[in-house]
Amino acid sequence: MHIFKLAGRVALRHRGLLALYVLMMAAFGFLMASYVGDDTSSYQETRPTVAVIDRDGSELSGALADFVLGAGTPVELPDTAYALQDAAAKDLATYVLVIPEGYGDALVRAAREGDAMPILERSVSFQGAQGSLMDEHVRAFAQRLFALLECTDAAPSEVVSWAAEAQSARVEVGVTESPTTGIPLGYLVFMQFSTYALFGGTAVLIACGMRSLASDQPVHARLRAAGIPEASREAQQALACLGIGAAVWAAMGVLGVLWCSGSLGGSDPMLIALAQVPLLALACVGAAYGYLLWGLGAKGDAVHAAGNMGSMVLTFLGGTWVSQASMGAAVTAVARLTPIWWVIHALSEVYAATEATGELVASVAAQTGLVLLFAAAIAVAGAAIARARARA
């Protein structure tokens, strides 16, 4: 096992690469996990960012403005074209209500004299669904003002007060009593982020780290002359790649558990352990890819480019950055042909579960098996190329 130890030691001595692809990626994952936060078992109403431009200034428009600002998270917005564009383009305010001049009087006339209904204006950012939600809120409240004006002789100030009073009637919201011992959302995000390092990081670490042992290097010639059977040497090199993959996986696992330990407190340890299985399989795929790059004799920038680009493309397709549910059928069909898709899918199943049932374990095992098939296919190609180049 001399070559196995040598290769592993040489590769893991590249501290810069370890810091970049393990520590930094784990830190990114932790940052995102901290930012996303964890599941709450209590219901919190969706409150989109809102702003109101009240060009009317009447009691009725004031009531509408107060209602909107109370129903969402208010944002200050001046009445300028630039501010409106800024809010819509960058989603600074998901919903902006513009109350035109004369709206209050026109609403009273529409209710009591049958005049045309005045029109409210809204600007919605690209978060269209939340904008629609807010618009439903606003129109419901404005409809109440209109109905009270239409069916009573009360002054607008009284109507405003009655409408606000009626607003206090709200449905009681509870949550299901399911046991919430599953893995927390923050830890799921960390594991999703770790797929980048497990695939690309492992590959770069192997291809760059073991570069000095490549077939075009003097060390390789000395090793060939050392009397170790070729099959043994190749097997030890391949095992070293697997060992490096396992080391990266273990490092990411330990860092993840340590950094997310606060939120993992109530989680089922079986589920946490189960989630590591597809990740280990992905580290094997990364190791196989690194072995392939190493066998091809790639070096320096080319390895970084191939590792990072491969990782970036596969993580996007796999659903690390964008939810798998939002992908179209054609993209999903292609994505299923990539290993990270199956890893993310397996992680999602573990996240959705509250206990490690036999069905869940079987499903995760099947998906891990698929991922390992990718690893085997790439490793075989890598071995063939490495052998051909060594003999050339």
Partner 1 sequence: MNVSNGLRTALRLVRFDLVQALRNRGIVIWVMVFPILLSTVFMFMFDGYESGEAIAGVPVGLVEDDSSEARGLAEALEGVSRGEDALLDVTPYADEGEAALAADAGDICAYVVAQEGEDPRMVVPARSAGGTDQAIVQIVLDRYLQVSEAIEVVAEKEPSALASPGAVEELAVSLSGDDIVSEHISVLRTQSSEFSRYYYAMLGFSSLMGAQVALLLVISKRADGSPAGMRRQVSAAGPATQLASGLVTSWIVVFCCLVVSLVYIRMVAGVSLGGREGLAVAACAACALVSCAIGTFIGAIPRLSSETKDVICTVLTMGLSLPAGLFGTPSQRLCDWLSANFPLVQLANPAVQVGEAFYRLTFYDSLAPFAGSLATLVGISAALFAVAALFMRRQRYAYL
Residues 53-72 that bind partner 1 (CB under 8 A): none
d(Cα 117, Cα 130) in Å, to the nearest integer?
25
In the Cβ-directed half-sphere of 17, how many Cα atoms lie within 13 Å?
A: 25
State which of residues 70, 220, 316, 361 lies at the interface with partner 1 (CB under 8 A): 316
Q: Minimal CA–CA distance to 74: which of 97, 45, 99?
A: 97
72-111 footprint of partner 1 as x/- string (CB under 8 A): ---------xx-xxx-xxxxx----xx-----------x-
Which residue is it, tokens 């998270």?
73
Q: Minimal CA–CA distance to 71: which of 149, 7, 140, 24?
A: 140
d(Cα 30, Cα 51) in Å, to the nearest integer?
33
Residues 232-261 touching partner 1, rule: CB under 8 A, are none
CB of 63 to partner 1, least distance (A): 13
Q: Pick between residue 79 and residue 230 the one whose CB is nearest to partner 1.
A: 79
d(Cα 28, Cα 358) in Å, to the nearest integer?
33
- Site size toward partner 1 (CB under 8 A) is 110
d(Cα 3, Cα 234) in Å, to the nearest integer?
9
Q: Pick between residue 68 and residue 242 the one whose CB is nearest to partner 1.
A: 68
Which residue is it, tokens 């996303």?
36
CB of 216 to partner 1, least distance (A): 16
State which of residues 7, 77, 142, 344 lies at the interface with partner 1 (CB under 8 A): 142
CB of 315 to partner 1, least distance (A): 9
d(Cα 304, Cα 18) in Å, to the nearest integer?
13
Q: Pick between residue 17 and residue 252 the one whose CB is nearest to partner 1.
A: 17
State which of residues 69, 331, 361, 381 lies at the interface with partner 1 (CB under 8 A): 331
Per the CB < 8 A criterion, the answer to whether 349 and 355 are in contact is: no
158-197 footprint of partner 1 as x/- string (CB under 8 A): x---xx-xxxxxxxxxxxxxx-x-x------x---x----
d(Cα 79, Cα 68) in Å, to the nearest integer?
16
Positive or negative, the Cα torsion across 56, 60, 62, 66? negative
CB of 118 to partner 1, least distance (A): 8
Q: Pick between residue 137 and residue 233 the one whose CB is nearest to partner 1.
A: 137
Q: Pick between residue 338 and residue 367 the one whose CB is nearest to partner 1.
A: 338
Q: Pick between residue 178 and residue 227 the one whose CB is nearest to partner 1.
A: 178
Stretch that binds partner 1, among 148-156, 236-244, 251-259, 379-387 (CB under 8 A): 148-156
Which residue is it, tokens 């970036």?
312
- Number of other residues whose CB lies within 10 A of the CB of residue 187: 27
Does 1 bind partner 1 (CB under 8 A)? Our answer is: no
- Number of other residues whose CB lies within 10 A of the CB of residue 376: 13
Does 44 bind partner 1 (CB under 8 A)? Our answer is: yes
Stretch that binds partner 1, among 214-222, 233-241, 289-297, 325-333 (CB under 8 A): 325-333
Q: Pick between residue 147 and residue 376 the one whose CB is nearest to partner 1.
A: 147
Residues 7-36 touching partner 1, rule: CB under 8 A, are 16-17, 19-20, 24, 28, 31-32, 35-36
Q: Pick between residue 303 and residue 356 the one whose CB is nearest to partner 1.
A: 303
d(Cα 268, Cα 274) in Å, to the nearest integer?
10
- Edge to edge, what strands does the sheet with 49-54 contain? 73-74, 49-54, 95-99
Structure-block tokens of residue 100: 């035109």
CB of 235 to partner 1, least distance (A): 30
Residues 250-309 touching partner 1, rule: CB under 8 A, are 300-306, 308-309
Per the CB < 8 A criterion, the answer to whether 295 and 319 are in contact is: no
Q: Pick between residue 124 and residue 282 the one whose CB is nearest to partner 1.
A: 124
CB of 242 to partner 1, least distance (A): 25
Does 125 bind partner 1 (CB under 8 A)? Our answer is: yes
Output the CA torsion 228→230→235→241 (10° steps).
90
Structure-block tokens of residue 328: 């179209």
